[in-house]
Chain A
């Protein structure tokens, strides 16, 4: 047995038996891991030049981007990276990096890259010959910026997957569109992406086909086809493809859709590996509040009557119109409270469906004049406008609309509070994300390629919030923590807008139909230029460190600049759940609370014990575990952050199993009232038997 695994496991074992954290065991595990595993496999090179030559000649690195730079510059850049004296702070970070990210020889025996090497290669690759950007990128990445996994993993490699990992597709109500989109899913899944597909526009079970009644099979069989496509196309067996399907809660197939994830669902409708999400317009909550029935509709009728797809209209605005129109069938009436209880039941039993609050998303959508946001992605943080493609018969050309690919990156909040120049950090991150988008061309999915070219959307997020709060002595969920995120995300918003404006100015190019956006009209900035500047408490100021407080005056200037020069990116911010990448950097995930002080992380292929970053025996009371955080406080914190994020935030809720469906419904409704745009998973901790018996015997 590997001694480092045993040492790493010992950390949890002794923590759970004695309550004492033995971090030296984890350090020893890391040391032994290097001695026993890494150092013996690391290929030796005389110098950087020999290393790069070898890796290029042997076909590990692409030659083209290396040739864009002078070898002296490359050497300097390596030195710059190595001068940071980086050390992996935990066994988790080291093992995750060497297991999954470092370049290895084709037979998997030799390790060809260290942490710094990977950073330099990402910088060189993404900077595309721009030496200033390359240098800034090394700084940003060694200090506080982390590109998402596909970018970090694939940059510079000759045999590689795509740099982006996240896609959204809209399916239309025709066989041509269904089969075309299944093809896209196979393709995107092959590239390792997570794909979201909107099923709201498909006609439900029993609807007419060619005017003949009772012919359509509804959305579930289509979802099953998608599920099979994702599991077939699995990156050479490395990882099963992942997908999510979304459906509007007013769609006539909603009941089957909700039950489809329950473990005891009928095999004919059960979705075992495909994720599900529902789109909920505000009218649903309003009807539920008044204890009314809701009426389910068919997108087939809506399109016939109004010439619009169901996802293209606001159900909240159109609900009574649809009710009154005799040409719209009222397919079924259901009590809203009962239906929502079914949703909660399914969430307890399976974690699904995710929920997207349609009006919270679209009311503040800065591109609302361009189109509606109809759905989200696999982690519910991407919320962008889409336009459905018209897929014609094979003898006519297709008319491609806009779908979504999104490339993501995250800023380490703790490190960001310490960098010299926060503005520069955000700007560098924005440049790197921009270059990823420009280097990406998903040629086999034309609607994605087209949108990428026109929209330049990116998603910059952040992580390590809980870790940072602990170092500052601030309790997660407290008023200080909420105020902190309010200021921090405002600064992220401000500087990402500023950067996007500068890039537009430089390139003389804005995103497609910028002139129709709330940025161009200036409306977007109302909330900021009219805000009341409040005193920030000393604790929050200290926690912000070098992150500036944004004043109304600064906003006023930026507003003028944006209106004059435009914006390069249609979308800029999105906070992803950040799995692996936060582990490598020893960060807590996203802006969520950590689930356990000493976490057991089961990946598909290994189990690793991970004491939370900055955790010590002294500060462990500050690491209040997610299940012990008041969910209303958690929602307040996310709501404060959401105000400053143009897309979404992946928000997981944590409950224990003594919760009822009613309590769960209540926190979702609370989230909706607070302007939250999406809820990702609800996770529950099963009380172990000792706990529940203990309180009775």
Chain B
């Protein structure tokens, strides 16, 4: 038996600047795919011309979320030393698992078993998809105990995955949903996005704290490494976009959106943006605003309800200072 001293996580004493904030925010927005009536999309789905693209987009997202659940958050959490941040990352990991499962929920509702099996085969065979999974997966797998450089690289990659690589896929449901098409599947995506945007900000924030501890020279070296990785992934992403969106004619718009998010990902880790500003389709832009759109009370569940903060009713509750 080993003779280590195990330390218990003590939330009474903040050890991380923002762990509590990220923790609260994530739990506040808990959701489950079963709350969304995807079956209402079935009718539109049946006469949809680009089923193939749509399915592949979702299959690709499933792979990324699977990698992020099983390796990404998992490994980053394992090697993060602050116990509160570790807890936050473990919670994020659980949400990644919900995301990966929610795509299956959409597949189950819209597709036949045979189609679904084919899709998961496609995932294994698509070179661009496998390329990004491998590229990121390798970095996750090379974290070493006590080596903050490898941990920073993993965090950087995690932010790239969540704030950048997902978006070639998110584009399509947002684009269609904003035009009244397959709205419920789009609702699931907007809920996933709401989570991914905290993950991107949080991991990016942890990465920035780590980065500050490096020497100037090391910082320069890592920055270079980061931009090179981004460019590498970007090239692959362009090919992936062409491949998946070929039949829809949407490639140029998807690419603009990918560049927009690449810049956002860089901002999350505290780096300068890389691509010049350009116009992104406003329908897609409006799809990612999470402030809580106004819902028709007779229609769907809004994405704006969240966990309550409980405080007891006291005598003072009955005093109104008016």
Spot the interface stretch: B73-81, B153-161, B177-185.
B177-185
Spot the interface stretch: B57-65, B84-92, B224-232, B301-309.
B301-309
Looking at the assembled complex, report how far the CB atom of B151 sits from the nearest CB atom of chain A, in whole angstroms: 21
0/1 interface trace, chain B 294-322, chain A, CB 8 Å (1 if under): 11111110101111111111110110101
Known: A350-B305, A661-B310. A602 touches B317 (CB 8 A): no
Q: Is B246 an interface residue (CB 8 A)?
A: no
Q: Which residues of A contact B178 (CB under 8 A)?
A: 5, 9, 607
* Pair A337/B313 contact, Cβ less than 8 Å: yes
Contact for B305 among A579, A661, A666, A684, CB less than 8 A: A684
Q: Is A657 an interface residue (CB 8 A)?
A: yes
Q: Is A10 an interface residue (CB 8 A)?
A: yes
Q: Which residues of A contact B290 (CB under 8 A)?
A: 686, 688
CA distance A595 to B293 in the complex (A): 9
* Pair A604/B299 contact, Cβ less than 8 Å: yes
* Pair A662/B286 contact, Cβ less than 8 Å: no
Q: Is A341 an interface residue (CB 8 A)?
A: yes
Q: Is B275 an interface residue (CB 8 A)?
A: no
Q: Is B122 an interface residue (CB 8 A)?
A: no
Q: Is B108 an interface residue (CB 8 A)?
A: no
Q: Is A12 an interface residue (CB 8 A)?
A: yes
Interface residues of B in 249-307 (CB under 8 A from A): 281-283, 285-287, 289-300, 302, 304-307
Q: Which residues of A contact B32 (CB under 8 A)?
A: 263
* Pair B308/A6 contact, Cβ less than 8 Å: no
Looking at the assembled complex, report how far the CB atom of A18 sits from the nearest CB atom of chain B, in whole angstroms: 13
CA distance A210 to B275 in the complex (A): 77
0/1 interface trace, chain B 49-77, chain A, CB 8 Å (1 if under): 00000000000000000000000000000
Known: A6-B281, A602-B295. A348 touches B307 (CB 8 A): yes
Size of B's binding interface in residues, CB under 8 A: 56
For chain A, give the interface size range. 35 or more
Q: Is A239 an interface residue (CB 8 A)?
A: yes
A-B contact pairs, 28 of them (CB 8 A): A2-B179, A5-B179, A5-B283, A263-B305, A289-B315, A337-B312, A340-B313, A349-B306, A349-B308, A351-B302, A351-B305, A599-B293, A602-B293, A602-B296, A603-B296, A606-B179, A607-B180, A607-B286, A609-B286, A660-B308, A662-B313, A670-B320, A681-B297, A686-B291, A686-B292, A689-B197, A692-B21, A693-B21
**What residues make up the interface of B, taking CB atoms closer than 8 Å to A?**
17-18, 21, 25, 28-32, 35, 40, 43, 177-180, 183, 197-198, 201, 205, 281-283, 285-287, 289-300, 302, 304-315, 317-318, 320, 322
Beyond A605-B180, A657-B306, A686-B28, 14 additional pairs, beta carbon < 8 A: A6-B283, A263-B31, A289-B318, A347-B308, A602-B296, A659-B309, A660-B310, A661-B308, A663-B311, A665-B313, A665-B317, A670-B320, A685-B292, A697-B18
The 7 closest A-B pairs by CB, nearest first: A348-B308, A606-B180, A660-B311, A600-B293, A13-B282, A9-B282, A662-B311
**What residues make up the interface of A, taking CB atoms closer than 8 Å to B?**
1-2, 5-6, 9-10, 12-14, 16, 194, 237, 239-240, 242, 263, 272, 288-289, 291, 337, 340-341, 344-345, 347-351, 379, 577, 579, 595-596, 599-607, 609, 632, 657-663, 665-666, 669-670, 673, 681, 683-686, 688-690, 692-693, 696-697
